[in-house]
Copies of this chain bind each other. A is one copy, B any other.
């Protein structure tokens, strides 16, 4: 699996040393920028033909989707009828430069000293090169790009130009191109429906108050999108002429600029996006003009500076230090991963975080359980406000989830959609979609984890409790106490995380997660009853909740059935798992092995005794407190043999458990496989977008794995196990507003309270409770 390094090892920068069109598609993803609202692929500033062999332009606004009728061979009751596809928006990044009638092109011009660099530390993308025209004129070109954290609507491009050996004129052309299409279908042959073609219908493209303004509306989802840009040129005196050309699907703003030898001209292009999902539906145009005008007035420097400071704060909490073999390489991978998670997460409570963040159209830009089980845990400990925003977005879709529960036959409660943008179920194949009821427990898990880590009472009273109770209700309705299992509570016909084992009975992960969902619901109910009775009464009233339901919840918690094989001493993936046909990978041609669903019928896949990814293992990580180490070992040994790791969500979890049970080499191996998965493009598919869950998973593999961190029943705990290859590993976490630094070394682990007061946690190796009272306090755990 280990592949060669693509980019130079550099902890804080991803650097492309030369332009090669063959790497373009991949680099577009790698160099993507986002602020959780806007996402823009790392496409080149220069115009080139977006043949899907070489690249895919992509500009997205989180939550803005197009919709089309879904057609089915045979539709079922409750099959979603409207698709949701993250919409590719007009592209405004393109710049064309002309000297003496010669237009600069990466494909055909002569240029030197090309370098592109993504600064992870500052969220700044720069590109520099020297363009040598046919007549020998040398132009230094530096392009800077940020997607602003100060103003979420802003995508900012700065062009710094210096004539090296001449004085003359330059034409710069800034282009808005609205003739864009989505590429979902082209990159995903199994999705056989729209939206096709150009989805945004232009309502107007005009220039108003020096702002190039576009307004359009989607055909299917009827979302209005507004975007536009304005330009600042410094020094202003160098501007000779300007000219605007507008046609049906595009606008061009052309500037004639005087270049003085050795003098730098700076051109800032302020591009903004907004949509009717938040701006006033009837006044989007005005909104765009205001936004552009405001940001132009603030000036580019302000935003570049803000960006730097904002990122500094992030890394203050999130930075990881490793000393040891291959440390720089690992750190680069981790920083790259943390950067993408951080920048890609929705922050405005109106959207979530797509599986590929906003770096591509893979999975149609849908939000899955990845957010709650992989990304949010990382954010909870580093950027709890973002975690809260993501969970608040889920809360904001509760009504849709309640409707969905009714469609699935539950008379009360809420069932969250397996995949969605607008809160409605968008899964067109329920065996791998809606059947994954565990989404309910995953969201509840994240809510509960958020509360344990932050103590955010207000969130729980306003949002969290309602989510916990409504999701729990579905668990209390979906299964039943079965005589044939000695009265245990069984849940049939669901699909767990493992998409190779479909529509099974008593999926271990699902049942245990459901039980804990119910337990969290009971706990929050009892806590509110004792301490926040008014809030409880209000809530109970709103959702028509009856205290008898708590009794039922408790019975189910008590009686939840977990499949167990006495002979093997393991928890099978589900009731039928051990009966399935033995898997013989040798019978599968090598080129088909990693792509089973593309090459084999679902029935072939599901009848075999093998697992796509961590499933039971994930439950055993999250709730290891219910199991003995011996049990976990036996299960690890078993699953390690039957798991194919065909999901990017798998290895990080195996790594965590391996570390926990002292399988050090395997733990390290899994971690290394995960850490640079996207940066080294292990699966040759980064072009379609990053793998957010794995990226966040690597952080978990480090923190929950090597440091053995857990947060269960409100108790934070650690069980460090530093990889042999390393001399040191340190990271920081926020826990109830306290910043704690954990430093693993060969002979000791140091726990230090950096900010805050009165922190308490457990060392699991020797069952020691540690208290750190004031800043600077630290505790040394000797190995």
Closest B residue to A566 by beta carbon equals B484
Do the beta carbons of B576 and A478 come within 8 Å of each other? no
Does A527 touch B at the CB level, under 8 Å?
A: no
Report how far A70 CA is from B73 CA in the complex, Å: 6
Q: A578-B482, A607-B492 are in contact. Are A601 and B71 (CB under 8 A)?
A: no
Do the beta carbons of A580 and B492 come within 8 Å of each other? yes
Report how far A607 CA is from B506 CA in the complex, Å: 11
Does A503 touch B at the CB level, under 8 Å?
A: yes
Report how far A600 CA is from B572 CA in the complex, Å: 30
Does A408 touch B at the CB level, under 8 Å?
A: yes
Provide the residues of chain B in CB contact with A572, threshold 8 Å. 484
**Nearest-Cβ distance from residue A272 to partner chain B, whole angstroms:** 35
Contact of A601 among B408, B503, B609 (CB under 8 A): B408
**Nearest-Cβ distance from residue A72 to partner chain B, whole angstroms:** 5
Do the beta carbons of B598 and A77 come within 8 Å of each other? yes
Do the beta carbons of A429 and B73 come within 8 Å of each other? yes
Does A76 touch B at the CB level, under 8 Å?
A: yes
Bitwise, A65-85 to B at CB < 8 A (1) or not (0) is 000001111111111100000
Do the beta carbons of B193 and A71 come within 8 Å of each other? yes
Main secondary structure of the interface of A (DSSP, over half): loop
**Nearest-Cβ distance from residue A585 to partner chain B, whole angstroms:** 13
Report how far A572 CA is from B482 CA in the complex, Å: 14
**Nearest-Cβ distance from residue A68 to partner chain B, whole angstroms:** 11
Do the beta carbons of B478 and A607 come within 8 Å of each other? yes
Does A431 touch B at the CB level, under 8 Å?
A: yes
Does A490 touch B at the CB level, under 8 Å?
A: yes
Contact of A73 among B193, B503, B580, B600 (CB under 8 A): B193
Q: A71-B192, A190-B75 are in contact. Are A430 and B480 (CB under 8 A)?
A: no
Provide the residues of chain B in CB contact with A237, threshold 8 Å. none
- Chain A: number of interface residues, binned into ranges: 35 or more
Chain A, 447-465, CB within 8 A of any chain B CB: none
Does A483 touch B at the CB level, under 8 Å?
A: yes
Provide the residues of chain B in CB contact with A411, threshold 8 Å. 587
Q: A502-B503, A579-B482, A607-B492 are in contact. Are A601 and B565 (CB under 8 A)?
A: no
Q: A73-B428, A428-B73 are in contact. Are A434 and B601 (CB under 8 A)?
A: yes
Query: Which of A72, A189, A190, A578 lies at the interface centre, i.e. has the most chain B CB atoms within 10 A of its CB?
Result: A72
Do the beta carbons of A77 and B575 come within 8 Å of each other? no
Contact of A576 among B430, B576, B582 (CB under 8 A): B576
- Give A contacts to B, CB under 8 Å: 70-80, 189-193, 407-409, 411, 428-431, 434-435, 478-480, 482-485, 490, 492-494, 502-503, 505-506, 565, 567, 572, 575-576, 578-582, 587, 597-604, 606-607, 609
A-B pairs with beta carbons under 8 Å apart, 6 shown: A74-B192, A76-B601, A408-B604, A478-B581, A480-B609, A484-B579
